[in-house]
Amino acid sequence: MNKIDRDDAFNSDNIRKAMAEIEATPAAKSEAGAPKPEMSRLAVQTAHRLSQENYSPTMIIGTLRLAEFALLALTGFVIYALYVGFSQEVLLLYYGPAIFVGSALAVLLIQTADGYQVPALRSALKTLPRILSAWAAAFALIALGAFFLQSGLAFSRVWFAAWFITGAIALIIGRNIVAYSIRRWARNGIMERRAVIVGGGNMAKALIRSIEQDPDNDIRICGIFDDRDDRRSPPMVAGYPKLGNIDMLVDFARMARIDMLIIAMPLNAESRVLELLKKLWILPLDIRLAAHANKLRFRPRAYSYVGAVPMLDIFDRPITDWDSVAKRIFDIFFSVLAILLLWPVMIGTAIAIKLNSKGPVLFMQKRHGFNNEVIDVFKFRSMYTDQCDPTARAAVTKGDPRVTSVGRFIRKTSIDELPQFFNVLRGDLSLVGPRPHAVVAAAHDRLFAEVVDGYFARHRVKPGVTGWAQINGWRGEIDNDEKIKQRTACDLYYIENWSLLFDLKILFLTPLRLLNTENAY
């Protein structure tokens, strides 16, 4: 095998440079241009079978860490309450810190001993010596710390021994339950990463065999997609059917719950790989380029691994696993807070709408949500009932006669958007994200996806009540191509640079930006 540096040939830096070009000028015209061929019956059936959410191994392992910390801490506190009694001063000064530090040390040492790897979790009996050794080492460190702090006499030796024994028993029982659950989840397809192979032929066959031969593999291959005909790419590869071409893959990935796309093509097929990426980068998935069959070898840090198979990371799905949990907690907390603070405004708005014109207070509109799913978004009704435009085909303009007098005020102040906090609580929207546009929203009779190549890449995350585009002044009527291009550019910047602090910044800047009502009518 030849070893080469990254600045030679088609290496990982070249890939990242190409990624930047794709994001700057992506080509996804098939989303809104010529009609695409329909998926095969087999592809539709497979997509429906994979429509249920699966459990991310990262989430399960993170939850297990928290659960074992809580379990060990609970046993320590229960034995303290039963044997030592309850003295608040002694608990706060001695036992409480010892319990928390000991439990945290145990989890840290189990992590160091690779006790939270999926293979270790599957076979509890094989890994128990490592787990119990980590628990014993945590106790040894606590004892050492108590000795140096000259506080050893403050602890009951019976409590110390009882906590060690009960903690060990709890770990043994818990680990066996987890091992049984993981094996059952693996059989049922609940705990897995679902992958689609892009590309066929011998390279795809070798990739599939490499993945299947790894006993600790958590990848489930769901099918193969390839643009080549059956002469160059057989309809069945290593027992997996070819489900369609790349355009069909985009539809398939929106129907099924897929985690990863693995491109099985040689690195020297640079132009073909880049053409694929221009179509696929709009999907909220991890995209990897398989490197198992290439003679070129990069430095180890250039790779990630699927089992033992080396992969080059092309795109990562944004806001996943614990990031998504943190964002969801953020959304719920601030949405509930906003509703508690603004309910008088919402009640007053509802009364004003009812007194001003006939019809319902709320208005629902079909908009694009995460991964292009269609969602119902709530708004206060701002138009006369018989002139409402649920499709938003005709954008509201300055002095639009369809808008009521109350509607004009609530649109300028964005009060009409307040019911969307309930969309956030339902899980349709996020508090911060790209604003959801109506399904057939258009600029000069052209759909937004026809104006902006790669427009649907905005839908790699949940849409938001407010967003980075609105903070930067791109709010209100979209009456020319430049406005939707700038909005999309801001949305993509937000997706690539997301953090909770970024969300917080946007959230607190939103009321200030709402003072500028120049483009809102």
pLDDT at 171: 92
In whole angstroms, what is the distance from residue 126 CA to residue 200 CA?
A: 39
pLDDT at 3: 35
C-alpha gyration radius of the chain? 28
pTM: predicted TM-score of the whole model, two decimal places: 0.76
* Greater pLDDT, 129 or 456: 129
Q: Are strands 193-198 and 219-225 parallel, antiparallel or unpaired?
A: parallel
Angle, helices 96-112/57-79, rounded to nearest 10 degrees = 150
Mean pLDDT within 355-371: 88
SS (H, E, C) 55-71: ECHHHHHHHHHHHHHHH
Mean pLDDT within 37-65: 80
Helix (H) or strand (E) holding 1: none
* Closest residue by Cα to residue 165 from 97, 75, 65: 75
Helix (H) or strand (E) holding 306: strand 303-306
- Indicate if the pLDDT at residue 511 is higher than 90: no
- Indicate if the pLDDT at residue 237 is higher than 50: yes
Question: In whole angstroms, how far apart are CA 290 and each of 42, 162, 198, 254?
Answer: 26, 51, 10, 23
Ordered by where they begin, the domains of the chain are 2-54+192-317 (3.40.50.720), 57-188 (no CATH), 322-513 (no CATH)
In whole angstroms, what is the distance from residue 401 CA to residue 357 CA?
A: 14
In whole angstroms, what is the distance from residue 281 CA to residue 270 CA?
A: 16
pLDDT, tens digit, 9 for 90 and up, residues 147-201: 777 666 667 788 888 989 999 999 999 999 988 888 887 776 677 788 899 887 7
- Indicate if the pLDDT at residue 477 is higher than 70: no
pLDDT, tens digit, 9 for 90 and up, residues 485-500: 888 889 999 998 999 9
- 232-267 CB burial, b ≥16 within 10 A, e <16: ebbeebbebebbbbbbbbbbbbbbbebbbbbbbbbb
Amino acid at 247: D
* Greater pLDDT, 478 or 65: 65
